[in-house]
């Protein structure tokens, strides 16, 4: 992402020592996964993602399904579907008997985490493939290599609905607003949910990825909210730097504040720019994944964290710890009303208000 804020403004604080990117922080050696787990997990992740793309997991949540019915409804070959379901059985996620599939208890748990697979395998799989295929001094191009923006947005939306929604709804219930802005709106799931929660509320969504915006526009239309919601496909840094959005009283930025922080050495400047772009905002809901406190970690690796930190290292996008976010918000004139864990590993939801 462009270091746009840095180019436009002189930094007001020398904070390079206070804000250390995640790739410079030490990590411990955790208990090893054996080679079979890693090898089988590679294939397993693609099997999980393929069955999701065919809507098999959602069908199995409703009832056991026969191979014939699944193939007919999904328009795929029985040979390919049989191969996937047979493999899923070997992984322990389905019972596969007489060509009828039924979710196991492990499969039920897996489906709750399906958004991570959509995000990591479908969305960022091309980036990881490019990295492993090209190690001849061209890794500096990885940040520009194609990712599947629609699947990144879809996966984030699924995680949001499955793991974050109860917390989000509890916090939102105590906030009065009439116009909301969602920075990095992705597929529009959250913004639609917000606007539907308030009679006559309106909103705008901003995202740089055309695939995500196309999906958001489609979902807004399906929800019948074209008169109340608008989706803007543009560079978020440009939008915040060059324009202001009056009348917006609630600003949401979910799971992309790290991208904005990457635009400037001065993290508090980013927060001040955010406030300037939304001069009437009285509430900010900012959720983001921060660096895992690996030095305190004793258990097995959680889902998501390792790949999240890896792909952002490859894209040259620094991540920061929780304390860094607090310093940046407070330095930018936002008071932390509430900060709570937010569903995904090492992910937090901040409710912030201007301190003036």
Domains and CATH numbers, the chain: 35-134 (1.10.10.10), 159-354 (3.40.50.150)
Say what angle helices 149-159 and 210-222 make with each other, to 10 degrees. Answer: 50
Query: What per-residue confidence (pLDDT) applies to 142?
Result: 52
pTM of this prediction? 0.85
Q: What is the number of alpha carbons within 13 Å of residue 246 lying toward its C-beta?
A: 0
Interatomic CA distance for residues 35 and 39, integer angstroms: 6
Query: What per-residue confidence (pLDDT) applies to 236?
Result: 80
Say what angle helices 210-222 and 189-196 make with each other, to 10 degrees. Answer: 30
For 168-181, what is each residue's pLDDT tens digit? 999 999 999 999 99
SS3 343: coil
Say what angle helices 189-196 and 165-172 make with each other, to 10 degrees. Answer: 40
- Cα dihedral across residues 128, 134, 140, 143: positive or negative: negative
Query: What is 111-153 written as a DSSP string?
Result: HHTHHHHIIIIIITHHHHHHHHH--SS-GGGGGGS---HHHHH
Pairing verdict, β 202-207 and 229-233: parallel
Higher pLDDT, 186 or 137: 186
CA 159, 161, 163: angle at the middle one, nearest 5? 60
Query: What per-residue confidence (pLDDT) applies to 153?
Result: 81
pLDDT higher than 90, residue 198: yes
Interatomic CA distance for residues 147 and 302, integer angstroms: 23
Residue pointed to by tokens 């999980």? 48
Query: What per-residue confidence (pLDDT) applies to 145?
Result: 67
For 265-317, what is each residue's pLDDT tens digit? 999 999 999 999 999 999 999 999 999 999 888 788 999 999 999 999 988 89
pLDDT higher than 90, residue 132: no
Paired tokens of 178 = 């009439």
* Beta bridge pairs of residue 101: 65, 96
Query: What per-residue confidence (pLDDT) applies to 178?
Result: 97
Q: How many CB atoms lie within 10 A of CB 346?
A: 22
Average pLDDT in the 259-270 region?
Answer: 92
Q: Phi, psi (5° rounding) for residue 339?
A: -140, 120
Average pLDDT in the 24-49 region?
Answer: 95
């Amino acid at each position: 992402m462009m270091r746009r804020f840095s180019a436009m403004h002189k930094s007001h604080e020398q904070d390079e020592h206070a804000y250390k990117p995640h790739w410079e922080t030490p990590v411990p050696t955790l208990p090893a996964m054996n080679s079979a787990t890693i090898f089988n997990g590679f294939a397993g992740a693609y099997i999980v993602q393929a069955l999701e793309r065919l809507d098999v997991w959602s069908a199995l949540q409703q009832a056991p399904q026969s191979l014939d019915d699944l193939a007919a409804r999904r328009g795929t070959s029985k040979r390919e579907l049989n191969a996937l379901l047979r493999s899923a059985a070997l992984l322990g996620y389905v019972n596969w008997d007489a060509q009828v599939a039924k979710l196991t208890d492990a499969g039920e748990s897996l489906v709750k985490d399906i958004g991570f697979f959509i995000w990591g395998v479908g969305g960022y799989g091309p980036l990881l493939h490019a990295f492993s295929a090209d190690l001849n001094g061209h890794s500096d191009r990885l940040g520009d290599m194609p990712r599947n923006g629609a699947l990144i947005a879809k996966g984030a939306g699924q995680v949001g609905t499955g793991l974050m929604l109860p917390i989000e709804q509890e916090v939102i219930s105590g906030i009065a607003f009439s116009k909301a802005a969602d920075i990095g709106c992705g597929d529009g799931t959250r913004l639609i949910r917000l606007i539907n929660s308030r009679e006559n509320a309106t909103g705008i969504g901003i995202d740089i990825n055309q695939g995500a915006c196309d999906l958001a526009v489609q979902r807004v239309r399906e929800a019948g909210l074209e008169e109340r919601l608008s989706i803007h496909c543009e560079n978020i840094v440009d939008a915040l730097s060059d324009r202001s959005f009056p009348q917006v009283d609630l600003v949401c930025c979910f799971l992309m504040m790290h991208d904005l922080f990457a635009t400037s050495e001065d993290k508090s400047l980013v927060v001040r720019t955010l406030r300037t772009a939304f001069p009437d905002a009285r509430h900010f809901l900012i959720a983001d994944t921060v660096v895992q406190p690996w030095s305190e970690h004793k258990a097995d690796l959680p889902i998501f964290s390792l790949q999240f930190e890896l792909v952002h290292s490859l894209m040259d996008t620094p991540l920061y710890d929780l304390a860094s976010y607090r310093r940046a918000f407070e330095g930018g004139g936002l008071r932390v009303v509430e900060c709570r864990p937010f569903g995904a590993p090492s992910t937090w939801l901040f409710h912030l208000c201007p301190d003036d």
